[in-house]
Amino acid sequence: MRLGLVLMAIFLIGYFSVDGQSKKELEAQIKKLQAEIEQLKKPKEVDLSNENKKAGYGMGVLFANNIITQGGDSLDVEAITAAINDVFDKKTLRIEQQACMPLVQQYMQKAIEKKSTAARQDGMIFLENNKKNQGVMVTASGLQYKVMTVGSGKTPTATDNVTVHYTGKLIDGTVFDSSVQRGQPTNFGVSQVISGWTEALQLMKEGDKWMLYIPYNLAYGERGSGAQIPPYATLVFELELIKVN
């Protein structure tokens, strides 16, 4: 609101300037107002000097991350802030509380559908382009893989337990999990993981290191997994089969 008034003032100074006022005086006023605009643009410093303030900020972080994860990243932050202020200040709500839930549900449903459609399309485009790359193989299920290092050991069956090293990424390169970064290999049953891994492991030998490109239907599907793997996500893994136990 205040920023809007300052901008209006600059416009009015230029529009209604009188003959008796020098150009230098006008320029000085405009510069002063522009300086005020720049000051208003700067983020307000938040006072985190006590536990209540820190907890309040922490609540804001959790709340914001939660709604972004659920597809609410296009929500208007000023409207959210206004609603929070109205509730805390016990003001008359601009939208009745009973009407809020249907509004939010409708918005979130549309947001999720939009995000899911985009994720499916992005994954399809990625896989379609990726399969043209040299060395990439495609199985009947749609799993794509590329052999990085050739091993010579045993090949596991669906009932075996294996030790592996891995790094998992989204197609934009974001790492969501990595035993390599933790510095500790992991053990699990071949049939206890996502379908893409179960299929790939039964084609690998001990000592193999492969790049896996896994369509969403062979990964975490339409639900995703936690906050890091969104619904309909195509995943990329570097997977090393260390040992068949």
**DSSP letter string, 165-230:** EEEEEETTS-EEEEHHHHT--EEEEGGGS-HHHHHHHTT--TT-EEEEEE-GGGTTTTT-BTTTB-
Q: Which two tokens stand for residue 204?
A: 């690998």
Write down the pLDDT at residue 195: 97
Write down the pLDDT at residue 11: 53
| Terminal CA-CA length for the chain | 67
Q: Which residues of 33-61 are buried (b: 16+ CB within 10 A; e: fewer)?
A: eeeeeeeeeeeeeeeeeeeeeeeeeeeee
Write down the pLDDT at residue 229: 92
Q: Among 166, 188, 191, 164, which residue's Cα sits nearest to residue 177? A: 166
- Which residues have a Cβ under 8 Å from the Cβ of 218 and sit 6 or more positions away? 141, 142, 143, 194, 195, 196, 199
What letter does residue 237 receive in the DSSP assignment? E
* Torsion 131-71-110-196 (CA) sign: positive
Which of 126, 145, 177, 208 does the annotation list as catalytic?
Answer: 177
Write down the pLDDT at residue 34: 72
Please confirm, yes or no, whether 242 is among the known catalytic residues. Answer: no
Which of 126, 166, 213, 216 does the annotation list as catalytic?
Answer: 166
Distance CA 238, CA 211 (A): 5
Which of 126, 145, 216, 220 does the annotation list as catalytic?
Answer: 220
Distance CA 124, CA 217 (A): 11
- Which residues have a Cβ under 8 Å from the Cβ of 205 and sit 6 or more positions away? 150, 151, 152, 153, 154, 155, 241
Write down the pLDDT at residue 33: 73
Residues of the chain with pLDDT under 70: 1-23, 26, 36-37, 39-43
Domains of the chain: 127-244 (3.10.50.40)
Pair 30, 13: CB distance under 8 Å = yes
- Which residues have a Cβ under 8 Å from the Cβ of 174 and sit 6 or more positions away? 228
Beta bridge partners of 167: 178, 238
Pair 206, 243: CB distance under 8 Å = yes
Residue type, 56: G
Please confirm, yes or no, whether 237 is among the known catalytic residues. Answer: yes
Instruction: Please give the backbone phi and psi of residue 68, each rounded to the nearest 5 degrees, phi first.
Output: -65, -45
Which of 213, 216, 232, 237 does the annotation list as catalytic?
Answer: 237
Please confirm, yes or no, whether 15 is among the known catalytic residues. Answer: no
Please confirm, yes or no, whether 214 is among the known catalytic residues. Answer: no
Please confirm, yes or no, whether 177 is among the known catalytic residues. Answer: yes
Please confirm, yes or no, whether 95 is among the known catalytic residues. Answer: no
Q: Can you spell out the DSSP letters for 69-135?
A: HTT-TTS-HHHHHHHHHHHHTTPPPSS-HHHHHHHHHHHHHHHHHHHHHHHHHHHHHHHHHHTTSTT
